[in-house]
A and B are shown apart, each in its own frame.
Chain A
Amino acid sequence: MQAEEKFTDATWPAAPEKATLEGKNKYLGFWLFLGGETVLFASLFATYLALKDKVPNADHALAKDIFELPLTFITTVILLTSSLTSVYAMYHMKNNDFKKMQAWLLITVLLGAAFLGLEVYEFNHYVHEFHHTFTSSAFGSAFYTLVGFHGGHVAFGLVWIISLMVRNAKRGLNLYNAPKFYIASLYWHFIDVVWVFIFTVVYLMGMVG
């Protein structure tokens, strides 16, 4: 099968992301990378849990003082929804419908950007209302490293997906770029996987005390 070959709906493979050897290798390689990412985030979680509420004196705000349920809930729902919209994008990719795939990817990107915007607002709020900064306490350092690293992953994902959309806008779908789109969507799901633990371990458990 030629990677750049033009396909009709009937000849388009059922699993275009794994129809070429290059696609298969990318798929496996990317999952190995995710195994490494799991270790990376787990060690950041470990650091956060060890340093949670470790502040130099009683003037510093603790986790239960700064986190708020409504904002966390909104960001969680936004990121969770963006995970579903990228599933829709891959559904249309498998049906060889390039335009619909691009449209759903655009929605995914917009939701991701909304999430990032809220996170910037949240960090800004902590810094100005509670003087909770990266250098104010060990708690602050661990918090901003963990949540900020996740935010950095979201930002990278946005750049990645937008680049793919722009680069392939006039090209359409083929077996060369289908695995690229598919892997970007896997990465997006992984960001959501990490967020599920962040909202549970950092925010919800932080509020429980």
Chain B
Amino acid sequence: MANNQSNSANPNVDLKYRRKKNAEEMKHQVVTFTMMIFFTLIAFLAVAYDGFSHWFIRPFILLLAVVQVAFQLYYFMHMKHKGHNTIALFLFSGLAVGLATVLVFMTIVWL
């Protein structure tokens, strides 16, 4: 958690630097967003196009979804910043329990 304000004697110099850093991060966020839209487009096009077998499409669009979610978590939700270890532990424990549930419901539960 980068909470490093006013390290220099002159707060205005510090402010300029921080503004510049914030603007740079915002630029990265826009790039992230563009890539997410791009992945979404590819996933929809893969489904719209008739030529692919669903043995290819299913894992392919799932992979695109996982990449998109990683972008969302690590960039939009700032998990790439320092100090997110506890958070990651809880999120991924939740995910592990959740994925085990999905696996069970898809394999050993039948109706």
A contact patch SS: helix
A residues less than 8 Å from B68 (CB atoms): 196
Closest to B52 in A: A208
Tell me if A21 counts as interface (CB < 8 A to partner B): no
In Å, the complex CA distance between A81 and B29 comes to 12
Contact present for A84 and B30 (CB under 8 Å): yes
How many A-B residue pairs have C-beta atoms within 8 angstroms? Tell me: 146
Are A31 and B105 also in contact (CB < 8 A) when A43-B98, A84-B30, A84-B33 are?
no
In Å, the complex CA distance between A207 and B44 comes to 10
In Å, the complex CA distance between A2 and B109 comes to 55
Contact present for A193 and B69 (CB under 8 Å): yes
B residues less than 8 Å from A91 (CB atoms): 22, 25-26, 29
Tell me if A3 counts as interface (CB < 8 A to partner B): no
B77 contact from A32, A50, A72, A186, Cβ within 8 A = A186
B contact patch SS: helix
Contact present for A36 and B94 (CB under 8 Å): yes
Of A50, A199, A200, the most chain B CB neighbours within 10 A belong to: A200
Closest-CB distance, B22 to chain A (whole angstroms): 5
Task: Report the count of interface residues on B (CB-CB < 8 A).
Answer: 55
Chain B 13-40 interface 0/1 with A at a Cβ cutoff of 8 Å (1 = within): 0110011001001100110010011001
Contact present for B76 and A83 (CB under 8 Å): yes
Interface pairs (16), CB distance under 8 Å: A11-B6, A15-B2, A19-B3, A39-B98, A42-B98, A43-B98, A54-B111, A69-B47, A80-B33, A80-B37, A83-B76, A84-B30, A192-B72, A192-B76, A200-B62, A209-B54
* Interface residues of A, Cβ cutoff 8 Å to B: 9-15, 18-19, 28, 31-32, 34-39, 41-43, 45-47, 49-51, 54, 69, 72-73, 76-77, 80-81, 83-84, 87-88, 91, 94-95, 138, 186, 189-190, 192-193, 196-197, 199-201, 204-205, 207-209
A-B complex: 7 closest residue pairs judged by Cβ atoms? A42-B98, A38-B94, A46-B105, A35-B90, A35-B94, A10-B11, A200-B65
